[in-house]
Amino acid sequence: MKRYRVAIAGGSGYAGGELLRLLLRHPGVQLVAISSRSQAGRSVYKIHPNLRGATELKFSRPEELEPVELLFTALPHGRVMRQIEFFMSRAERIVDLSADFRLKDPRDYPSYYGYEHRRPELLKEFVYGLPELHREEIKGAHLVAVPGCTAAAAITPLKPLTEQFGVKLVVVDAKVGSSAAGAAASPAGHHPERAGVVRSFKPTGHRHLAEMKQELDPHDRISLNFSPHAVEMVRGILSTSHVFLEDDYDERTIWQCYLEAYGQEPFVRLVKERTGLYRYPEPKLLLGTNFCDIGFERDARTGRLVVISALDNLTKGAAGQAVQCMNLMLGLDERLGLNEWGFHPV
């Protein structure tokens, strides 16, 4: 099999490390470089200690990047848009894991991120990298922006509903692990403070809401609400979406809707059983996998749909999603290199 030449720019963070883990054993690509300004020259296993013995790679300097067929950019928000010219000069295709090119409307950046976008004309060039929604566009794309982790966890289960039914109001109440806040030490992530919390850290106005609006409610017809909570977990997101439809449907109809939307999807599983501890999606079963599990229950009293979705924020919520996009962009089997099943117990 031909191996495509790929590289990672900004590979010292958690998403970069997960990308590295996935790419090192991916049969269709050859990882030729992983750059990091702060770690240049060091062995990658010093930063990603799970890969001790897996590779001899060292971090390279960003400017040393040689031409590749596909480049992953895993830099902090705001940095990719500044260097996009350089990256585009080096890579035929770019998969950006930052927030810099996720939003189509340049006005969303000052509004949600607090800064003006530097290259607003490029926003429409990037495809929103959620294969379940945009597979065909991604296949032909040269520029893809991978969704935010809680955005992916909310949009994936909600899209079939907004598509097929009239949705009046949604409350997305997410529970997220500590790795979602990144690899840099901070008071909020200091273990004695972070351990065992149930912390409402951004009850309103979270940045990922912008993506949800864009993908689910472009015409602003839905009361779309989002509140994330930090819970005791390193990896993982459970998203509970409380959905109120304009009309009432029975569980069979909803199930049918999901089956049509996702019955053939390789990385979406419908999880809804009568019994068992894991009868609904559970993030801890998804560690390191590229699955987004979806379940739901209809509230007989109020008509509410409780839609439950789970994923690993670093895999389906970042690096796995990026690899899935890469597979599509390069014409490879979409599932290549993403064949993990999770652990139990864990």
Catalytic residues: 149
User: Quick one: which of 204, 246, 247, 252 contacts its own copies (CB under 8 A)?
Assistant: 204
Do the Cβ atoms of 241 and 307 come closer than 8 Å? yes
Contact flag: residue 198 with its own copies (CB under 8 A): yes
How many other β-carbons are positioned within 10 Å of the β-carbon of residue 263? 10
**Which range, of 63-71, 117-125, 145-153, 233-241, touches its own copies by CB under 8 A?**
233-241
Q: Is 58 in the site for its own copies (CB under 8 A)?
A: no
Per-residue tokens: 114: 């607090």
Name the phi and psi angles at 26, rounded to 5: -80, 125
**Residue 189 C-beta: closest distance to its own copies, Å:** 5
Length in residues, the chain: 346
Q: What is the DSSP letter of 286?
A: G
Could you tell me if 341 and 334 are in contact, meaning their C-beta atoms sit under 8 angstroms apart? no
Candidates 28-36, 77-85, 117-125, 196-204; binding stretch for its own copies (CB under 8 A): 196-204
CB-wise, 65 or 238, nearer to its own copies?
238
The yes or no reply on residue 1 touching its own copies (CB under 8 A) is no
Residues 6+ apart with CB under 8 A from 282: 238, 293, 310
Decide: is 318 part of the binding site for its own copies (CB under 8 A). Answer: no
Check binding of 157 to its own copies (CB under 8 A): no
Within residues 258-277, the interface with its own copies by CB under 8 A covers 269, 271, 276-277
23 binds its own copies (CB under 8 A): no
Residues numbered 209 to 228 that lie near its own copies (CB under 8 A) are 209, 223-225, 227
Residue 234 binds to its own copies (criterion: CB under 8 A): yes
Q: Minimal distance in Å, beta carbon 220 to its own copies?
A: 10
Angle between helices 320-329 and 14-24 (to 10 degrees): 50
Whole-angstrom CA distances from 148 to 50, 82, 173, 207 are 24, 20, 15, 9
Residue 308 touching its own copies (CB under 8 A): yes
On the 0-12 / 13-18 / 19+ scale of CB atoms within 10 A, 220 is: exposed
Interface pick for its own copies out of 77, 90, 104, 229 (rule CB under 8 A):
229
User: Any idea what DSSP says for residue 177?
Assistant: -
Select the span of 48-56, 101-109, 121-129, 155-163 touching its own copies (CB under 8 A).
Answer: 48-56
Judge whether 35 and 345 are in contact, CB under 8 Å.
no
Taking CB under 8 A as the binding criterion, the range among 67-75, 144-152, 155-163, 178-186 that sits at the site for its own copies is 178-186
Minimal distance, residue 47 CB to its own copies, in Å: 9
